[in-house]
Structure 1
């Protein structure tokens, strides 16, 4: 431990921070292990003890906290443990329920978190997400999540969500059916004083909340986006004025939908603008005509052992969905075009600097998100497309074929800037495998399975293999 942080070197501070993460995770796991040991001591039926006060008079009893296949525990025994944990007994019950599920229902995940591969709160969330599954159904969740523990929390939870749905699609369909009966649109009235609230002033604005069928919500979003783009393009804004944000124009478009006649008049006015050539008119149209909605769905499907489609797909920008939900998303479109399957095992290189569109798309589908160490960015969840950086910097005087699947590192803009200007090193060992070195000597292996800490010796070994591969090529 560093006694005086003000005298520490950058390397010492980084390694101390890394040690702190490991120690914190170990301590949090230890708290769950203590809970489990306490529960094991109090797993016998207190009503079987001599002189036990009957339950009907308030005596202790066994209760079930976790999912199917977890043991029971004496309820009143948890009160004292709650005192030791400085929390309410309900919080202690919740933590023990998660610990029971991890130990008895998710043993692969439990082993991984005991090794420090993941934050404890993430696996506790997985335990709660899968609690309604029976002991057999939950195995599919355990296998998939245990293999993904080195990934970012958002990716782990996305995988867990998909596997819970896959394990019991009938239960998920019941959730969908229930939500269909709970749709609505709400226009809350302003609270007294809300106009003067410094953190969230409601002066002059209103708020709308809506729960719609998913397909209707997406269609509404497309219509608002397209109408907003048209309003922004044809707005009479002085040259000296700051351009208004698209959030502003989406609000204007949403409000305009209250008067369909005004929307049609505006769109017809665009079409009938005099003195506009056919080429200029096409250029001025929004990317999608609100009167003829279109949509692109990228759907990831898998086959069962019998060669049939599995019950769950992954839809870009949305997440895991049942096949019936995908059909529902497309039901509003009279014309549906199915694009060819993208083979992620293929690749190509070109002689120019810019990565071709097909290379970018394959890279993004392989990696799902930013490949900077421990990054959480999911490309389909953010508005900005990633920067496709050359892993080995492009040299205009260099050999041909420098640009392609073999030399493409997709990064969020902030991470791209750090790599470019702050002394990071990176080598690409395959279409979905990178090793990174930080300016002060931390090393990471990044794959489609997440980020793993490696030693300097392991980094150098990977570098030697990469060099030999380059020379052979």
Structure 2
């Protein structure tokens, strides 16, 4: 397989080019970018071809693409991901899309190879069609190949979705039925100001009632907080009240008009029942139970949560600085009250990371896990996001545990937190790791790549630098470089 030669940059400087030349350069730059993405897809496909056969009984094969695409060695994917400086899931998606385009979308792939369309649109079509059988995907390929070079991406994707439904209407109906059970409530990442989005998939009816309640609370807050807040801001504040049912109930009761004060402002009819027809029969009984609860029991209705907050003693003393909340991210210390709210807080003492905690057992004691987690700060796999939580990782021995080996093999000096998939990859794919300092993890791949993962992220190393770091740590020395790792000084 050959790689396309990319066009050279235009010889003219921007100030020397005419308007027509600039427009021509813009068109050429577009084609250059598209062909570069094609070249990346070809490299991924070639890697899949090279690793298309298992190399032993414990070398599993996976099929990232759809029906009719070849299998790939599962443990070959992470090393390609490291070379591309991406997460393995990102590289697996590239492999899947490339294999689908070549084997399932030959007409569309020809348009992509020619640089006549956006490769990402073709990749999206491959994802939308992945569940189809190879004979079913033919009609999608024909329709998309005719449209992808001349229509807007949204139009192409709309055509692809329609053809997917036409190709397999029964599966579409089954997927629609299955989607009814795909309910969720998720949190986005925290932005730089300490705010997050709540994303939920609920029924239209529930959504309408929640929206109405948020609006009702926002209207109340307008009267209690003044009119210097816009309505969207008040609705955002109202969402927070939904998490405090007792406070919410109190707020609603205090701002509920008497029974004879209807929305029209007219008194009710004589003999009209106080309980609305839509109210459940057990409402009065529920209110009586709430009134009978003690203050401690009422407090427990809030629920319990667990937060890991990292903060310095100076920030606590001066009330200025940054706190890092796991699962939330960095926030201004003054925002801690917003995160903790009115909750009862149990403070866990901080760990002294200067201590050398070690265990003779294979299992990591909880105290050692806390030490390793605080020292590393997240999953230590190269190029992986630090979004893992302490309870969502395995604690892996960098140098495998030896039952007949010396004591003290388990500890921060030989441990790194890894998500289960990364732990499995490290165990079976030939990757090796060493802890080369507190929170510093050296990785090496079967083909000689080397990476350092530390508080700065992932940095590529040369083979000599990796060897030097390994030798130094064996002598009890932590090795740092004054020039950027893996790159010669300019």
Instruction: Please report the TM-score for the alignment, with normalisation by the length of structure 2.
Output: 0.41
| Structure with more relative contact order (C-alpha pairs < 8 Å, separation 6 or more) | 1
